[in-house]
Structure formats: structure tokens, C-alpha cells
Structure 1
Amino acid sequence: MKKKGLYWILGILGACILTAGVAYGVKYAMDGRTDKTSNEVATETKVEEAEVKQQLEKTDMTESAVIDMMHKMTHQKVKADQKWGAIPMSVENATKVRDAIKASDFKNKVALLEIAERWVQRDFSKVDQDHNYFWKIQGGTIGKAEGILSKTEELKFARRNYEDQIVQKLLEVGDLVEK
């Protein structure tokens, strides 16, 4: 009889734990869903110009820091369910990254340099593949790029995620196109 009571209590306790786990899982999944489109960055603050300059002007950048910056640069151009962070994709920023790679002895130097050289030439035809290369190196599990944004979608992304002065500068130098 005591065994039966113990099984009954353990069964109720197990059901409570299972219910709590399912409730937590549903809440966790729903917290990740907002009214944002797949083209928006998961952060709420807009990227500030000073912050970008500070990141890109470091002379002692590690390979992981360069990969992280390049990954964030791709967010302006790719379709993905989730994106964390953004750095403006500009010829100026691509040149700074390329120069840092050239001066390095990174393990992935050849591949990184090939990507940066394309970006300096404003060739973004493989930017979704570039994104997924960085995403994979960084151990990505969600947010895989599923294509390239249209010019209109890219401009919308920039306006949502960068300060107005950054967007204006990107438009003036031709790194963004207004349609």
C-alpha cells in the first residue's frame, strides 16, 4: 500500500514538473516571437556611428572579432529569421576589415580576405553565403540566412537599425540605394 502511495505522489510530482517544463518552453518560444519582421535586428537600440568607428579602428583585432564584425555587416543585406547586432555594410568599413585581415595571420585569412575583397568592390552576390560561413564558424543554430534582401528591404533595415546620420552617409556615398 505504501508503494502505491509513493508511486501516486511521484506521478503527480512528475506531471507537475512536466507541465512546468512545457509552460516554460512555450513561454521561451513565444518570447522570441515579436511583431518584428525577419529583416530586423533583435536588439532595440540603433547602432551609433561612434560605436562602429571604435570597433573598426582597433589595431589589435582578433580573428573572432573580425568574423563577428563581418557577420554583423551581412545583417544589412540578408534575409534571416533572427539577427543580433548590425554594423553598416559600406565600402569604408569593408576596406578597414580587409586591411586588418591583410595585416593578420588568421587561420581563415584566405577565405576572409576573399569575402572582404568582394565587399570592397560592392559585390554582394554571395552575401547570404558569406553570412552563413560566419554563422557556422560562430556555432549558429538559429538565424541562418535564407536569401538576399531587396534594395527596399535593405533600406528599411538600415532605417530601423542605424542612426539617421549613418543612413544618410550610406545613401550619399552609394552604399545604400533609395527607391
Structure 2
Amino acid sequence: MKKLIAVIVVGIILAGGIFTYNVLSSLEQKVAKQDNVETASAENEKTKRLNEASHENENGVTTEARFQEKLHNMTHQKVDSNDKWGERRITEERIDNMLQTLDEQTTYQNEKFYQEALTAWDNGNFENSVEVHNKIWSMQEGTVGRATGLLTEEEEQEYIEENFSEEG
């Protein structure tokens, strides 16, 4: 009788272990699948934005979406964010070119915002970089990668070295 009880107890323990293993494996697969869906969704959003932003109009003039993407990518050099997609080094020449584009282009919906941001940068003041980043991030309906603050000089230098080493 004791052997029968022992066999039943062992059987119940094994069945419980197998059941628990199957439940945990199923949950693990669901979480992994959800992570993959979220990652794919974020990548699709990023690709869509980059594709939309790469267009020029029929006259070869930079569209507002492309201009906005360039400015957004430049902010990455200055801001702290857990995710950054795209980088464009801030240079005096790029700032001047973008200001010139604004002078020539009067149809941008957010022209005044871009003008104010770039004018501050042209004067060496990058304190608005978090605001610029997050405003464009919001315009692009960003879901991850909100800027949380400015990088320190050391962090910015590290970012430059990691992302623009070929430029010096």
C-alpha cells in the first residue's frame, strides 16, 4: 500500500512538473513573439519615416519631411535618449545650408520653429536640442527614444567618435 501511495505521489509530482514546464514554455514563447512583433513594428515605423523623409519634390527641393529628419538626426549628437535612429553630425556648414534652405523654401509648415532652432545653433547655443528633438519626435509620432536631457561634453565626444569616426 505504501508503494502504491509513493507511486501516485511521484506521478502527481511529475505530472505537475510537466504541466508547469509546458505552461512556462508557452508563456515564454508568447512573450518572445510579442517582443518580436514590437521590434518589427518599431523597425517598420522607422523605415516608413526614413522612406517618407528621403523624398524631394518634383523640382529637386528638399521636402519638409526630409528637412525635419535631417534636423532630428543632428539633435542626436546633443541629446540623451535610450534609442536613436539616424545620425548626422552638426557642422557650421550644415547649419548654414539648412538656414539657406529655409530662406529659399517658404512652404514648410513648421518653418518658424526650424528657423529659431537653427539660428540658436548658428550662434553656438545648443541648449534647445532636447526641445527640438522631442518636438520633431512628437511630430513624427515617435513611440520610443524621447530625449531626456543634454549629453555632457564627454558623452557628446564619445557619440561623435562612435558615429562619425570617418569624418574625424
TM over 0.5: yes
CA displacement 1:140-175 (0-9 Å, x = unmatched): 1100000000111101000000133x23xxxxxxxx
Higher RCO, 1 vs 2 (CA within 8 Å, ≥6 residues apart): 1
Query: In the alignment, what sits opposite 1:111?
Result: 113
Q: Decide which structure has the larger Cα Rg and report it.
A: 2
Q: Structure 2 unaligned segments of length 5 or more: list them.
A: 1-22, 41-58
List per-residue Cα deviations over 1:91-115 (Å, max 9, x = no partner). Answer: 2111111111121121111111111
Instruction: Select which of 138, 144, 147 maps to 1:145.
Output: 147
Of Structure 1 and Structure 2, which has the larger fraction of its residues in helix?
A: 2
Q: Please, which of 19, 24, 33 is the counterpart of residue 24 of structure 1? A: 33
Secondary structure of the equivalent of 2:148? strand
CA contact 1:76–1:154 (8 Å) conserved in 2: yes
Partner of 1:52: none
Contact 1:80 1:143 in 2 (8 A): yes
Residues 116-131 of structure 1 correspond to what in structure 2 (within 5 A)? Answer: 116-131=118-133
Counterpart residue identity of residue 33, structure 2: Y
Query: 3-state SS of the aligned residue for 1:139?
Result: coil
TM-score (norm 1): 0.63
- Count of aligned residue pairs for this structure pair: 127
Root-mean-square deviation (Å)? 2.7
Is the contact made by 1:71 and 1:131 (CA closer than 8 Å) also made in structure 2? Answer: yes
Q: What's the % identity of the aligned pairs?
A: 26
Runs of 4+ in structure 1 over 6 Å off? 15-18, 28-31
TM-score, reference length from structure 2: 0.67
